[in-house]
Amino acid sequence: MKIKLDAIRACLDGAIPGTIATCSPDGTPNMAYLSQVQYVDAGHVALSYQFFNTTRRNILANPHARVAVIDPETGAHYRLSLQYLRTEQEGPLFEKMKAKLAGIASHTGMAGVFRLLGADIYRVLDIERVPGETLPPPPPRAHLLAALRASAEQLCLCTDLDSLLAQTLTCLEIHFDVHHAMVLMLDAPNARLYTVASRGYTQSGVGSEIALGDGVIGVAAREGTPIRIGHFAAEYSYTLAIRDNLQRSGLAPQLETEIPLPGLPGSRSQLAVPIRAGQRVLGILYVESPQDLRFGYDDEDALVSLAGGLGAAIQLLQHAPVDAAERSASASPAAKPGPAPEAGPVLEVRHYAENDSIFLDGRYLIKGVAGAILWALLNDFAASGRTAFSNRELRLDPRIRLPDISDNLEARLILLGRRLVEHQAPIRIDKTGRGCFELRIERPLALLHTPHGV
């Protein structure tokens, strides 16, 4: 194959619909429009199977097809000679195409008409450049390899999860020209993702949650595959996902324990990339843009690589040796009583055992593992005046009930710390070294506990 499939991926994002020619066994040609040509790997593409039509009948009888695609920026016109191999009706590729098709359908007024029945996998036998005029390609928005290298160099220098996440979002802004991004961590046993860092939204949304399988982010996490949409698709949007979440959650709505997901009101392009440690999905790196077709295959490649580095770094930091400070904090847990609380009105801290939610003076702060952590810290403080804590002891603390042995406790602490800051609470947790932190209380506290079923 003289022309590499990798080199013409820009033609496959559907900006200009492709066409497919097939031929019946009796030699009658057929021509049809394609909603989607999906790059699978250097030697395969997948076409969306949406209707049982002549194209479908033909390729089942005669597997040879030709597809024409056009580069939306230069007008370069290519014909792919294909051989049909098989159809996938579930799994990562199917979900990727289903999400993309939802965007295309909604953009072209075909929502409700286009429905993915299968991903037809074809071997690419040859790619031919159709003779004709072309326009010069526009200059690239960012040199993605250079952006990746600069980011990798900067992420290497981060010594804790908090700075690693912040630096990732900064790199996306500076090097990739991506201004709306968030990182969510996976809570696998509860099948939910929680936002731990974000950039470019009016509300940070840290602590907001999304169910596995909901929207671009939830599907990417469930399938362990990048999901990329080039147009707004209602069924993958967050406003809807949030509403569904609310309806599904058994929590009494009067508790108002939902933190809204950060989201771009006019979001058109979305890309969610799994952050992995080996085979395990740790979370999702998500970017979005108000422009249509903002993220292409090359952006997806770059972000998958960036997320690869991020996953490895998260894993390394989680298993990094602890600081001397943590060892001393763990060795003598009650040895360092903190300063006496500042004077001021009493802060009412209410804990609901049902979901470990915490309310400060009646305002919702946090729930779940981070809520349980805060409740344990405050109880220790009330009992003994203790303010110095270590991650390691928290991981073993039976009151906290981490959902998974591999759960990223540091991410929970970042989430808790951010929520306290955003809440302007008179309670703070300050990092004092790797794997250890200090509780800072600025007002007298009244701890109120509501057990299950009350």
19 vs 87, beta carbon nearer other proteins: 19
Min separation Cβ 34 and other proteins, Å: 11
> In the bound complex, what is the minimum distance in angstroms from residue 51's beta carbon to other proteins?
6
Q: How far is the CB of 203 from other proteins (least distance, A)?
A: 31
Pairing of strands 181-187, 64-70: unpaired
Q: Please say whether the beta carbons of 372 and 401 come within 8 A.
A: yes
Residue with tokens 């302007």: 424
Closest CB to other proteins among residues 35, 387: 35
Pairing between β-strand 445-450 and β-strand 347-352 as defined by DSSP bridges = parallel
272: tokens are 């969610």
Min dist. Cβ of residue 72 to other proteins (A): 6
For the record, the structure tokens of 20 come out as: 């497919």
When the beta carbons of 25 and 453 are compared against other proteins, the nearer one is 25
Nearer residue to other proteins within complex by CB, 109 or 139: 109
Q: Which is nearer to other proteins, 52 or 90 (CB)?
A: 52
Q: Which tokens sit at 244?
A: 């569904």
Our CB check for other proteins shows the closer of 125 and 382 to be: 125
Of 53 and 406, which has the nearer Cβ to other proteins? 53
What residue ranges bind other proteins (CB under 8 A)?
15-16, 19, 21-23, 25, 27-33, 50-51, 53-54, 62, 64-66, 68, 70-75, 77, 79, 81, 108-110, 113-114, 125, 130-135, 292
**What is d(CA 204, CA 427) in angstroms, rounded to the nearest whole number?**
19
Residues in the chain: 454
Minimal distance, residue 269 CB to other proteins, in Å: 14
Nearer to other proteins, 14 or 435 (CB): 14
Shortest distance, position 230 Cβ to other proteins, whole Å: 12
* Residue 281: CB minimum distance to other proteins, A: 35
- Closest CB 132 distance from other proteins, rounded Å: 6
Q: Which is nearer to other proteins, 53 or 159 (CB)?
A: 53
Comparison of 56 and 199: residue with beta carbon closer to other proteins: 56
Tokens of 383: 């009992």
Q: Tokens 């999702």 label which residue?
A: 284
Nearest approach in angstroms of CB 176 to other proteins is 24
Q: Do 217 and 225 contact (CB within 8 A), yes or no?
A: no
User: Minimum CB separation from other proteins for residue 129, in Å?
Assistant: 10
Q: Are 303 and 287 in contact (CB under 8 A)?
A: yes
First to last CA, the chain: 69
